[in-house]
Amino acid sequence: MTAFRTLDDAGSLQGKRVLLRVDLNVPMEGERVTDATRIERIVPTIREIADGGGRVVLLAHFGRPKGKPVAADSLRQVVATLSDHLGRPVAFAEDCIGEAASSAVSALKDGDVLLLENTRFHAGEEKNEAGFVADLAANGDVFVNEAFSAAHRAHASTEGLAHVLPAYAGRLMQAELDALTKGLEAPSRPVIALVGGAKVSSKIDLLQNLVAKVDMLVIGGGMANTFLHAQGKAVGKSLCEKDLAETALRILDAAASAKCRIILPVDAVVASAFKANAAHETVSVDAVSETGMILDAGPASVAEIDAAIDEAATLVWNGPLGAFELTPFDAATVAAARHAAERTRAGKLVSVAGGGDTVAALNHAGVADDFSYVSTAGGAFLEWLEGKVLPGVEALRVRG
């Protein structure tokens, strides 16, 4: 990890006001946090800075308030959960700039932790306005970005601050960048990518980028049906974007030119209805009936995927292989995930996964902890896979 400035480069933070951008956009039911994963992941960096005598000033967004205060999007509601996981008190300021923020920051002692109100309560945040950046920076001596999940946005608190204060990646950001580097930028080869999900239309850029970078590409989920259709196979009533057949063929041609092996389903689990435990059968992809609906890859497809994973040194995974939320159409996703986890545990595979459905699928399979790295970053992870520049990351890059 020499490409980016990290906390290892920051020196002593004793007595310094550290503006720490974190992701606290956690799911809520009423005033209760229902999934504290994002909070748990930022705790080590907060503790490291605080234990080193830094004065931690947390910046975060919540919801989509569109540049004005919205009571339902106040970060006050996460303070108690954050404090519980941190094991120390967390102060709260009613604003992220101005008198409320400066007074709260001035009251901090070494090792204290303060959460400022939602940065998106100000229009200058998403517009990355210089004046708003300056107002935020007035309360800090150092900027640390721990929110890879927001790094694809050039906002004031994710990108702007990195240009006006000494800026570093926090430990979670560092781990994410390290994993992504091992996944695609400087991977051990061969590299296999597994891309699933419902629609080709949402992942055209992703597929086009991957075929130029990986050695093998597994295409699964509903999007595989579009490729099967493009190859002249009947897909019955399956989810299929038939208008993207030409796009699918262009991607297959690009893969052939790049010597990237495409792995599509050879058999499928077909049902007559999209519901759990619907009557189903496993058939060749050449034998899907007019009324059939492909809801999962079949065992022969899984065997081919597993064999490809066995050949690989690196796996990048985004999206499920079938309708994993419906039993028994989770079988292919679970089987392939467990096989990848087994190879990872054996030290034979670097496995990097990310995306909302992916995280849910790996948790469902019980193997999320066995992968080398599982990103919770969502959109930022997808944009990285697509080969796009992430402003919040680029701002931390070491320049030669």
Cβ-contact 148, 172 below 8 angstroms: yes
Cis amide prior to 190 (ω within 30 degrees)? yes
Length of the chain: 400
Q: 56 - beta bridge partners? A: 18, 113
What tokens does 385 get?
Answer: 């896979």
For residue 399, give the DSSP letter.
P
Roughly how many angstroms between the first and final C-alpha of the chain, as a whole number?
15
Strand partners for 374: 353
| Element containing residue 48 per DSSP (H, E) | helix 37-51
Q: Helix, strand or coil for residue 159?
A: coil
E strand or H helix at 33: strand 32-33
Counting runs of H as helices and runs of E as strands, what totals does the chain give? 14, 17
Torsion, CA 229, CA 231, CA 234, CA 237, rounded to 10: -10
Catalytic residues: 38, 199, 356, 379
- Distances in Å between the Cα of 161 and the Cα atoms of 24, 131, 132, 269 are 18, 11, 10, 51
